């Protein structure tokens, strides 16, 4: 089953390197997006003053970053930010899609002590 997703794009008068810095440089990202990310696979996603569990999944410097996150109680989602050069700067597209919530591993053994 396809999960719901939201996609928004904006054109900015800044090159891909400057947009990338805004997304991935701790203080700038927090100011611009309200989130801090460690721009490497396995890096943390931190939302100051909020209890969020998040992990960076994929990074293509100056092109895209993808992470998954969720609150301790809530549905997980995946965010992808892509940067595409334009004649006047960059198009930044943010896509967030709800992920299927699954618990993995072996089921508990009933009656085990």
Cβ partners under 8 Å of residue 110, min gap 6: none
Q: Would you say residue 93 lies in a domain?
A: yes
Q: What are phi and psi of 40, to 5 degrees?
A: -150, 150
pLDDT at 1 over 60: no
What's this model's pTM, rounded to 2 decimal places? Answer: 0.82
pLDDT at 45 over 80: yes
Question: pLDDT tens, 58-110?
Answer: 999 999 999 999 988 888 999 999 999 999 999 999 999 998 766 666 666 66
Q: Would you say residue 8 lies in a domain?
A: no
Instruction: List the domain range (segments joined by +) for residue 93.
Output: 15-98
Q: What CATH number is given to the structural domain containing 25?
A: 3.30.530.20
Give the mean pLDDT of 5-12: 94
Q: Tell me what the pLDDT averaged over the chain comes to.
A: 88
pLDDT at 44 over 80: yes
Q: Would you say residue 49 lies in a domain?
A: yes
For residues 33 and 2, give the distance between their C-alpha atoms in angstroms, rounded to a whole number. 27
Q: How many domains does the chain have?
A: 1
Q: Would you say residue 105 lies in a domain?
A: no
Q: Would you say residue 84 lies in a domain?
A: yes
Q: Would you say residue 2 lies in a domain?
A: no
Q: Would you say residue 5 lies in a domain?
A: no
Q: Would you say residue 76 lies in a domain?
A: yes
């Amino acid at each position: 089953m396809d999960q719901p997703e939201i996609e928004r794009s904006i054109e900015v008068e800044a090159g891909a390197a400057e947009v990338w810095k805004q997304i991935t440089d701790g203080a700038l990202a927090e100011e611009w997006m309200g989130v801090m990310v460690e721009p490497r696979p396995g890096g943390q996603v931190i939302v100051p003053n909020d209890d969020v569990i998040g992990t960076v999944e994929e990074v293509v410097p100056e092109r895209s970053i993808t992470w998954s996150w969720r609150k301790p109680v809530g549905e997980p989602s995946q965010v992808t930010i892509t940067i595409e050069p334009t004649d006047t700067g960059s198009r930044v597209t943010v896509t967030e899609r709800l992920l299927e919530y699954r618990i993995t591993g072996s089921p508990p053994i009933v009656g085990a002590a």
